[in-house]
Chains A and B, each alone.
Chain A
Amino acid sequence: MAMIDARPGRVRPAPENFLTDEQIAAVKDGRRDFLRKAFLTASAAMAAPAVARAAVEGDPAILELPQWSTTLGLPVAANPYGMPSKYERGLQRRESPGLTRVGGSSVAFTPLQGLFGIITPSGLHFERHHQGWHDVDPSKHRLMINGLVKTNAVFTMDDLMRLPSVSRIHFIECGANTGMEWGNVAVPTVQYSHGMLSCSEFTGVPLKDILDMCGADYKKGRFVLAEGADGSSMTRTIPMEMIESGEVLVAYGMNGEMLRPENGYPLRLVVPGVQGVSWVKWLRRIEVGDKPWATKDEAVHYMDLMPDGQHRQYTSIQECKSVITTPSGGQLLLDKGFYNISGMAWSGRGKVTRVDVSTDGGINWRQARLETPVLSKAVTRFNIDWVWDGKPAILQSRAVDETGYVQPTYGQLRAARGTKSIYHNNAIQSWKVVESGEVSNVQVL
């Protein structure tokens, strides 16, 4: 731990551009309100020595008691459903401009650059809709089971919420996450490069229990169709082996409350380790069958184009992947010295067993700390100490899962699949740090 510095904030070199023009002007004018509002007296001290002298007695954030220490605060339940601090408003779901042209069939990305731990706040869970979203009346929602079952059945939400439930933490990642980056760098920040990833605690009923009730023909019925109640009535084929394992849930809960409408309220399928498109939202029907369905999202989209012109069909598993979320693209390091490199790792094949981090573009690696909990098919948070010497660096993370699979490089992935695929890009991500402290998105082969 560093000694307490008697000076008004620590003096540290200010990397270029980390103050806005307005802030620099404010400091030069000696406006003290900026100091009170500002995040770092230290940076101001360097940028404007005159202000540093004025504050020589100490930090105004300490010496001048703020309004919240000297006035009455707000009463309970002022926000009956609590919202984040107004200072957190920068962290929102966002579209990537130009990616799609219709909001009803688009993507809003999770701001991974600002998240901690492994759980995605429900309001920041990424969105992907195929024909818009609705706030479905739960009293009118039904789940039908049909096909190779003894009894075609209907369940209300009342029925489903009476059944024995389980709660499990799993990641959900869109098959097209990082898809814009297959050929080259295209987006500036981890929100847009990796933000079709979220991780939540889901509560629901194992689909196997429901299929058992209906007398599913497990011998012939080796495939299951899941169908949504929205306009597109999204459909995907799921292997019966996954359902038999008990992993696949018919879920109504997410992070302690009901699913959010954008995430399938009141009912969605949870298919751990499999790309998000199979986690059918507003789930209305499960059909047991003896063959896959080649639905629109299995025969037009969500197929991986190979260099020989063939498409890989029914690719579903999200293979082991990781990304450093801070420091990451579009961010600025404020100074030389200590940083906590932090990121997320996940695998559709089970637990993450290790994450290595490189700060020299992949020449040398160090093993990162995995923070608990480390769960199967869930995001695992990793951290590692780093002292930045102010010189150029390239930060990378590389995850390994319990099958021994090591997250591949761009070079390896492209050698196997070319550059035309849209889906399942799990390459090692590189963030370049330059002397000014600017971090940007680059690709290292």
Chain B
Amino acid sequence: MSRFSKTLIALLVAGAATSAAAWERYPGVGREATPAEVKAWDIDVRPDFAGLPKGRGNVDDGMALWETHCASCHGVFGESNEVFTPLVGGTTQKDIETGRVAALVTGSFPQRTTLMKVPTVSTLFDYIQRAMPWTAPKSLKPDEVYAILAYLLNLAEVVPADFELSDENIHEVQARMPNRNGMTTDHGMWPGASQAKGGIGNGGTPDVKNVACMKDCKKEVVIASALPDYAQDAHGNLAEQNRPVGQTRGKPTGAPGEAAGQNGGAAAAAQPAAGAAATLALANAKGCMACHGVANKVVGPGYNEIAKKYQGQADAAAGLIAKVKAGGQGVWGAVPMPPQGHVSDEELGQLVKWILEGAKAQ
């Protein structure tokens, strides 16, 4: 920070005369925030819509934005279970009427989708605005957030296909949220005042009451569940996850060395960087593997498919680097790949070279 800006800040602080007494406790520490600074960061939207920016967006525009920014992870219809749990599904017209999602009781839908759970439409606006898209959070303008949210709500049949969502009608949408009456705060796990005293919950009364019995506490021991056979080896070699001295050892499970492979991040971090393995770790770290398998299609094409397609093309690397950076669509189908601005040019070069050379693990 330059000396000049410090002077400016000193002036700002001096201007905060109304609260001078509080500041004087720690002279020289902190300064008043400018209105522009507060505006830049205070982006939260509450259930009463305090903080909601003005704006509007319709389902059609939302669909186009969705396909560019959202579909690669969430599926074209918000139904995808590939990368995250599905956003849409499991809600009915009856739920929209009652405000309670019946499938949460019956278990009739295999997943608990976002729209099955979320009671407040403000939550969706706030989160899309602050955290989406996944690789470029906070890049959407308010109108784009409205449009994307309109499309999402249309997928869940909360709003019709010709709907335009705005700051003026969003409270009407709240009245149609499928799980708007699905919350309870009747519990003892809020660490503040009770609901009766202006806070939340019952004031701290637990919902279970065990007693510290010491002798002959029950007649028999019923084992309700044990580790299933198929899960014995699922976490790699447990012998390698324990200390080699002490009163116990880890039980050898899985294939030797499997544990290291399955826990690529930790193992890779513990080893010196080495060509292919390090690049695989980089692909993991940068989120590439969420949508691409080495030998299989996930959302996007498998790396083996990419290597095969561009085999023998001398200029393939430069083209692919540009495409990963800017995002692309069409070569491998309709689902677009969003721009990957979080990956540096150097890393892109390393990743693309590795993919074209067959995406080897070692």
Q: Which residues of A contact B (CB under 8 A)?
A: 17-18, 20, 39, 87-98, 101-105, 108, 111, 113-114, 130-132, 144-147, 150-155, 159, 162-163, 184-189, 191-192, 210, 212-215, 222, 225, 227, 231-233, 235, 238-242, 271, 273-274, 284-285, 287, 289, 291-296, 298-300, 303-317, 319, 326-327, 329-334, 339-340, 348-349, 354, 356, 360-367, 394, 398, 400, 405-410, 412-413, 415-417, 420, 424, 430, 432, 438-445
A294-B120, A316-B191 given; A443·B285 CB < 8 A: no
The residue on B at minimum CB distance from A239 is B192
Residues of B within 8 A of A89 (CB): 270
A89-B270, A239-B193, A356-B214 given; A295·B224 CB < 8 A: no
- The answer to whether A294 and B46 have CB atoms under 8 Å apart is yes
Residue among A152, A186, A354 with most chain B CB within 10 A: A152
What are the nearest 7 A-B pairs in CB distance?
Answer: A239-B192, A361-B221, A309-B105, A309-B104, A331-B248, A406-B210, A315-B189
Residues of B within 8 A of A92 (CB): 241, 263, 266-267, 270
- The answer to whether A104 and B287 have CB atoms under 8 Å apart is yes
The residue on A at minimum CB distance from B136 is A231
User: How many Å lie between the Cα of A88 and that of B270 in the bound state?
Assistant: 12
Contact among B32, B185, B188, B198 for A222, CB-based, below 8 A = B198
Contact among A233, A294, A326, A330 for B47, CB-based, below 8 A = A294
Main SS at interface, chain B: loop
- The answer to whether B245 and A213 have CB atoms under 8 Å apart is no
Q: A239-B199, A306-B184 are in contact. List 19 more A-B contacts (CB 8 A).
A: A102-B290, A131-B134, A185-B231, A188-B232, A213-B26, A213-B29, A225-B44, A235-B130, A285-B42, A299-B119, A300-B127, A311-B104, A312-B185, A313-B184, A332-B251, A408-B209, A439-B248, A439-B251, A440-B227
- The answer to whether B240 and A90 have CB atoms under 8 Å apart is yes
Is B176 part of the contact surface with A, judged by Cβ < 8 Å?
A: no
User: How many Å lie between the Cα of A423 and that of B250 in the bound state?
Assistant: 28
User: How many Å lie between the Cα of A339 and that of B248 in the bound state?
Assistant: 9
Residues of A within 8 A of B18 (CB): 150-151
- The answer to whether B212 and A400 have CB atoms under 8 Å apart is yes
- The answer to whether B118 and A299 have CB atoms under 8 Å apart is yes
Contact among B25, B253, B284 for A188, CB-based, below 8 A = B253
Q: Can you pick out 27 interface pairs between chain A and chain B where the beta carbons lie within 8 Å of each other?
A: A87-B243, A89-B270, A91-B242, A92-B241, A94-B241, A95-B263, A97-B235, A130-B131, A151-B22, A225-B44, A232-B131, A235-B126, A241-B192, A289-B50, A294-B47, A312-B183, A317-B188, A330-B235, A332-B251, A333-B247, A340-B247, A363-B216, A363-B221, A406-B209, A408-B210, A440-B226, A443-B223
Residue-by-residue, is B125-152 near A (CB-CB < 8 Å gives 1, otherwise 0)?
Answer: 0110011001001100000000000000
- The answer to whether A131 and B37 have CB atoms under 8 Å apart is no
- Shortest CB-to-CB span from B46 to chain A, Å, is 5
- Shortest CB-to-CB span from A316 to chain B, Å, is 5
Contact among A152, A305, A334, A445 for B222, CB-based, below 8 A = A445
Residue among A20, A287, A311 with most chain B CB within 10 A: A311
- Shortest CB-to-CB span from B21 to chain A, Å, is 9
User: How many Å lie between the Cα of A285 and that of B266 in the bound state?
Assistant: 31
Which residues of B177-211 are within 8 A (CB) of A? 182-193, 198-201, 204, 206-211
Contact among A113, A130, A315, A424 for B241, CB-based, below 8 A = A113
Contact among A154, A360, A410 for B33, CB-based, below 8 A = A154
Residue-by-residue, is B18-52 near A (CB-CB < 8 Å gives 1, otherwise 0)?
Answer: 11001101101111110001100111101110100
User: How many Å lie between the Cα of A113 and that of B212 in the bound state?
Assistant: 26
Residues of B within 8 A of A366 (CB): 214
Contact among B217, B246, B290 for A101, CB-based, below 8 A = B290
A241-B193, A313-B184, A445-B222 given; A97·B234 CB < 8 A: yes
- The answer to whether A334 and B248 have CB atoms under 8 Å apart is yes
Contact among B213, B221, B252, B266 for A94, CB-based, below 8 A = B266
User: How many Å lie between the Cα of A97 and that of B200 in the bound state?
Assistant: 37
- The answer to whether A303 and B38 have CB atoms under 8 Å apart is no
A363-B221, A412-B208 given; A152·B183 CB < 8 A: no
- The answer to whether A303 and B117 have CB atoms under 8 Å apart is yes
Residues of B within 8 A of A416 (CB): 207-208
Residues of B within 8 A of A329 (CB): 227
Residue among B47, B107, B207, B259 with most chain A CB within 10 A: B207
Residues of A within 8 A of B198 (CB): 222
Residues of A within 8 A of B29 (CB): 155, 159, 162-163, 213
- The answer to whether B216 and A153 have CB atoms under 8 Å apart is no
Q: Which residues of B contact A (CB under 8 A)?
A: 16, 18-19, 22-23, 25-26, 28-33, 37-38, 41-44, 46-48, 50, 82-84, 100-102, 104-105, 107, 112, 114, 117-120, 122-123, 126-127, 130-131, 134, 137-138, 182-193, 198-201, 204, 206-218, 221-228, 231-232, 234-236, 238-253, 259, 262-263, 265-267, 270, 284-285, 287, 289-290
- The answer to whether A330 and B253 have CB atoms under 8 Å apart is yes
Residues of B within 8 A of A295 (CB): 44, 123, 126-127
- The answer to whether B114 and A300 have CB atoms under 8 Å apart is yes
A154-B33, A188-B238 given; A20·B123 CB < 8 A: no
User: How many Å lie between the Cα of A113 and that of B241 in the bound state?
Assistant: 9
A95-B265, A213-B22, A213-B23 given; A442·B225 CB < 8 A: yes
The residue on B at minimum CB distance from A273 is B191
- The answer to whether A362 and B218 have CB atoms under 8 Å apart is yes
Residues of A within 8 A of B23 (CB): 151, 213
- Shortest CB-to-CB span from A116 to chain B, Å, is 10
User: How many Å lie between the Cα of A159 and that of B32 in the bound state?
Assistant: 13
- The answer to whether B284 and A103 have CB atoms under 8 Å apart is yes
Residues of B within 8 A of A240 (CB): 192
Residues of A within 8 A of B290 (CB): 101-104
User: How many Å lie between the Cα of A232 and that of B84 in the bound state?
Assistant: 15
Residues of B within 8 A of A354 (CB): 212
- The answer to whether B30 and A213 have CB atoms under 8 Å apart is yes
The residue on A at minimum CB distance from B12 is A154
Residues of A within 8 A of B43 (CB): 233
- The answer to whether A144 and B37 have CB atoms under 8 Å apart is yes
- The answer to whether A356 and B212 have CB atoms under 8 Å apart is yes
- The answer to whether A316 and B214 have CB atoms under 8 Å apart is no
Residues of A within 8 A of B104 (CB): 305, 309, 311
Residues of A within 8 A of B226 (CB): 185, 432, 440-443
Residues of B within 8 A of A291 (CB): 46-48, 50
The residue on A at minimum CB distance from B287 is A104
- The answer to whether A93 and B266 have CB atoms under 8 Å apart is yes
User: How many Å lie between the Cα of A303 and that of B102 in the bound state?
Assistant: 17
User: How many Å lie between the Cα of A97 and that of B266 in the bound state?
Assistant: 13
The residue on A at minimum CB distance from B213 is A365
Residues of A within 8 A of B25 (CB): 212-213
User: How many Å lie between the Cα of A242 and that of B199 in the bound state?
Assistant: 12
